[in-house]
Structure 1
Amino acid sequence: MFEKFTDRARRIIVLSQDEARTLNHDSIGTEHLLLGLIREDEGVGAQVLKNLGLTLEDVRRQVEESRSRGESAPSGYLPFTSSANEVLQAANQESVQRGLDHIGTEHLLLGLIRDRASVAVQVLVKLGADPDQVGRTMDELLQQYLAR
């Protein structure tokens, strides 16, 4: 599936791993994908999060409050949690439903908000972002891009 990822979407995966390591977490969860999305800074997913008034610093602080830091830095490969794997599958489904052959940052964000019980969605809600509004903002932004 990663072969379908755009360069920006691949970068989000790398940034997510970096965020997990920074927090001394031994796996990549939905919260790390959220951090990777907003940290990537240029993709549609990041633009939606910024349009909702979210910042990397606020998201990172809320992730730390929700999950706290691990005790020691992990080494080697960091696996995805089952929830993060579900996000990646949902991102692929979002792409396929739109008739596309690639997975972009927008699909990752849409996949991320599907599981309302995930750490990432809980972080969004605590920061005042309604998951339904995230989806609507995404659709509006995509329509603007398509109209150009």
Structure 2
Amino acid sequence: MFERFTRDARSVVVDAQQVARELRSPTIDSRHLVVALAQGPGPVATALRAVGADPDDVAASARRDLAAGDPLDGAALAAVGVDVDRVRQQADQVFGPGSLDRAGRRTARRGGHHAFAKDARKALELSLREAVRLHEKSIGRRHLLLGVLRADCPGGRVLQSALHDAGTDVPTLRDTVEQVRA
């Protein structure tokens, strides 16, 4: 399938891998793809702007959602008398800002390959189907976005929320991105 990706679509995959490294994520999921799509040039950013959504806000929302994957269940710990915010604050004072978050994340090999999570693989598969549906031979950025929107995945939910905040919706973005060529 990757042989059908345009140079721009391949750069999305590379950028998503870089986002996963930056955030110390063990895999690339659909939210990493959303960050790479929103931050990059081309039809996705154009379509997002056309429907009233700021691509930078969409990328920031996906990054926040990735960072919020806090393995500590504050409510469960509070039930046994542990104040997670206080523990986090003390860890930051002793070991530096973000130390508790860094300690709780698994990481892939340094500079190594990050595997795609199941939801990202599904979004990539659906991007091929979107290209076929649109009678196009190659898979570009807009097909990747359409694949994420079509998949039931965290990246799609981030997009849906960002679009709602911008006063629009997924069908409007789908229609717009299908019309944008670039």
- 1:47 is matched with 46
Structure with larger RCO (C-alpha < 8 A, sep 6+) = 2
- How far residue 30 of structure 1 moved from its aligned partner, in angstroms, is 0.5
- How far residue 141 of structure 1 moved from its aligned partner, in angstroms, is 2.4
Sequence identity (%): 28
Distance in 2, Cα, partners of 1:94 & 1:80: 19
TM-score (norm 1): 0.83
Q: Which amino acid aligns with 1:121?
A: G
Of 117-126 and 89-98, more deviation after overlay is shown by: 117-126
- 2:171 is matched with 132
Q: Are residue 6 (structure 1) and residue 45 (structure 2) matched?
A: no
Q: Which amino acid aligns with 2:159?
A: L
- How far residue 113 of structure 1 moved from its aligned partner, in angstroms, is 0.1
| Rg larger in structure | 2
Which 4+ runs in 1 deviate beyond 6 A?
none
Count of residues in Structure 1 that have an aligned counterpart in Structure 2: 140
Distance in 2, Cα, partners of 1:96 & 1:61: 31
Q: Which structure 2 segments of 5+ residues have no match?
A: 69-100
Q: Which amino acid aligns with 1:139?
A: E
Distance in 1, Cα, partners of 2:143 & 2:158: 19
User: Could you say if the C-alpha distance between residues 79 and 122 of structure 1 is closer, same or farther in structure 2, counting changes exceeding 3 Å?
Assistant: same
Distance in 1, Cα, partners of 2:160 & 2:141: 20
Q: Which structure 1 segments of 5+ residues have no match?
A: none
Give the RMSD, CA atoms, in angstroms. 2.0
TM-score (norm 2): 0.69
- How far residue 110 of structure 1 moved from its aligned partner, in angstroms, is 0.6
